[in-house]
Amino acid sequence: MAKSSIEWTDSTWNPVTGCTKISTGCKNCYALRVSMRLQAMGAANYKNGFQLSLHSSMLDRPLSWKKPQRIFVNSMSDLFHDDVPTEYIIQVFDVMRRASWHQFQVLTKRAERLSALASKLIWPSNVWMGVSVESQRYTSRIDYLRNVPAVIRFVSFEPLVGAITAADLQDIHWAIIGGESGPGARPMREEWVKRLRDLCAQHGTAFFFKQWGGVIKSKTGRMLDGRTWDALPEPL
């Protein structure tokens, strides 16, 4: 089990590692930095660095984790990357179905492929499906997500690198908002966050504020208007 420091999950599970950049949110990819560091340390699953790699030996891992938890799937990759075979994605979904005592959080930027494959997948109630949206330019990913028959649909507005003035959050159950962190972090403005909070309130979408970000995110924290915002989607 890989315990996670990510505020909205408990653990991570990576049956796939590695990826390729497809949009502005990928510019300072944390997974790329971590992968290269793990490769240098000799970690077996990162011998290929950030080259996309399947790890079939990892498929059954969640079945051995008996304590129910929220599990972020492929924190170091994107399950719906074009180079991940459809059959392998089906296998991942089968494991999630069998590990019914966990909640699995799947997040992708490849919303078009997600939409194209949705009818070929079985969608158990413990799978939360999300898309990443970093600026107004990529809000169309939400429209693809809306057509996916997941019980919980969510959007990660992280790293939020541009204003989002309009976004249809109808039938979106949860939104995570966060600024970019680490080397080269791009700034996030308070008005961008408050605009998304307002949009969530209009649509009845649970609002989770993850972080302000910055080069050292611990210095900026995650307080907004004097409090933290940790809403989770219902039903759990």
Tell me the pLDDT tens digit for each residue of 181-219. 999 999 999 999 999 999 999 999 999 999 999 999 999
**In the chain, where the domains are located:** 2-13+59-220
Q: Evaluate whether 54 touches 91 at the Cβ level (below 8 Å).
A: no
pLDDT band for position 91 (cuts 50, 70, 90): very high
Residues near 218 by Cβ (< 8 Å), separated by ≥ 6? none
pLDDT at res. 235:
65
In the chain the first and final C-alpha atoms are separated, in Å, by: 22
Whether 147 has a pLDDT exceeding 90, the answer reads yes
Mean pLDDT of 99-121: 98
Whether 236 has a pLDDT exceeding 90, the answer reads no
pLDDT at res. 1:
63
Q: Alpha-carbon distance 152 to 132, whole Å? A: 15
pLDDT tens track for 75-89:
999 999 999 999 999
